[in-house]
Amino acid sequence: MSRPTGRRLIAENRRARHDYELLEKMEAGIVLKGTEVKSIRGGKVQLKDSYVEIRDGDAYLVGAHISPYSHGNIQNHDPERPRRLLLNRREIDRIFGKTTIQGLTCVPLSIYLSGNLVKLEVAIARGKKLYDKRQAEKKKRMAAEAEEAIRGARR
């Protein structure tokens, strides 16, 4: 039997892209319970206000909400529990060094299915200042206006 391939996006943390300057991205697996996987496949995930924390040499996803599975039983999971991330030792050490020494943070960007596996895209990021956010918004608006002007000129 062959495994299905491709990448199916389940949830995205768009707020992280707005609030942070993304420096380095990496992919991580997540340790989940059975009902969590079924809930994720149903799209019942929210990454808003979540972050990655290093505890006892392991990386954990903290603050992510995975709703309890609707057809679950007493074995259902706690929606806000910290979930262990599957990363290489070198990646964990890099995250630990950059978050403690350089004062950066590690935020989840998206959760997706890669074949049958649930993966999380995380990034080491630096917080944006308010003026940086305004400048990025202005740049986006200018690009949209230019695109609209080009489309108008073609007609």
**CATH code for position 124:** 2.40.280.10
In this prediction, what percent of the chain has a pLDDT beyond 90? Answer: 67
Domain span at residue 120 reads 7-128
Q: Confirm whether 56 is domain-assigned.
A: yes
Q: Confirm whether 133 is domain-assigned.
A: no
- At 62-120, the pLDDT tens digits run 999 999 988 877 778 889 999 999 999 999 999 999 999 888 999 999 999 998 899 99
Distance CA 3, CA 109 (A): 25
Q: What total number of domains does the chain contain?
A: 1
Distance CA 39, CA 76 (A): 10
Q: Confirm whether 16 is domain-assigned.
A: yes
Q: Confirm whether 144 is domain-assigned.
A: no
| Host H or E run for residue 118 | strand 117-127
pLDDT for 34 = 82
Higher pLDDT among residues 87 and 6, named by residue: 87
pTM of the predicted structure, to 2 decimals: 0.82
| Host H or E run for residue 83 | strand 83-86
Contact 59, 116 (CB under 8 A): no
